[in-house]
Amino acid sequence: MAFMHERLPISSPEEQPPLEVLMEPGERIREIYAAEWRRLRAFATLITGDLSSGEDLSQSVFVEALRQEREHPGYLRTPAWPWLRMVAIRLALRQRQRMRMQLDRLRLLAASSAEPEWRAETLDIVRALKRLPPRMRMCVVLAYLEDQSTASVAEALGCTPKTVENQLREGRRRLRSLIDAS
């Protein structure tokens, strides 16, 4: 994912700047938003374990995308999805510590909030994912939903490929148990 940190090269007279540079940041983000919002919301919901957190996380990703585009026009290259996914993971990992602090209050909220009207199969997998530790959940979603290689997952999560393999093995075991029991 080298493109994430690349700066656009300065155009020589005979070169045209990439289309992204010619677009207003807001316009560029709107385009990405329209194309990727639903996918990002689904991804964020699965890695956080619930729709509300997933929507919050998705919005945070787009706020960050807007900030980057305004500071560095053309920062988001096409396709934008790998960058959005990477930022979602980064923000989700960073929010874990604070979320732990608020656990008691989260429990109160969870007890009073209604679940979305999804199919039983979707509810089962979302509930099962929610029971997994966050890092294991991210491994499973990245590997099996996003078809990322073990090395890519390891890079995204800042761990070794061996750790990812172990997490996936344990994740499969737990999911099988949880889904079969539901």
Which spans of this chain sit near another protein (rule: CB under 8 A)?
A: 25-26, 29-30, 33-34, 37-39, 41-43, 45-46, 51-57, 59-60, 62-64, 66-68, 70-71, 90-91, 94-95, 98, 101-102, 105-106, 108-109, 112-114, 116, 118-119, 121-122, 124-126, 140-141, 144-145, 172, 175-176, 179
CA 157 to chain centre: 11
- Tokens 């080298």, residue? 2
Q: 3-30: b or e for each residue (b if 16 or more CB lie within 10 Å)?
A: eeeeeeeeeeeeeeeeebeebebeebbe
CB 78, min distance to another protein, A: 19
| Nearest distance in Å: CB 6, another protein | 16
CB of 118 to another protein, least distance (A): 6
Judged by beta carbon, residue 34 or residue 181, the one nearer another protein is: 34
Q: Are 40 and 58 in contact (CB under 8 A)?
A: yes
Give the integer Cα–Cα distance in Å for 86 and 142: 10
For another protein, give the closer residue by CB, 14 or 147.
147
Residues with Cβ within 8 Å of residue 38, at least 6 apart in sequence: none
Select 15 or 117, whichever has its Cβ closest to another protein: 117
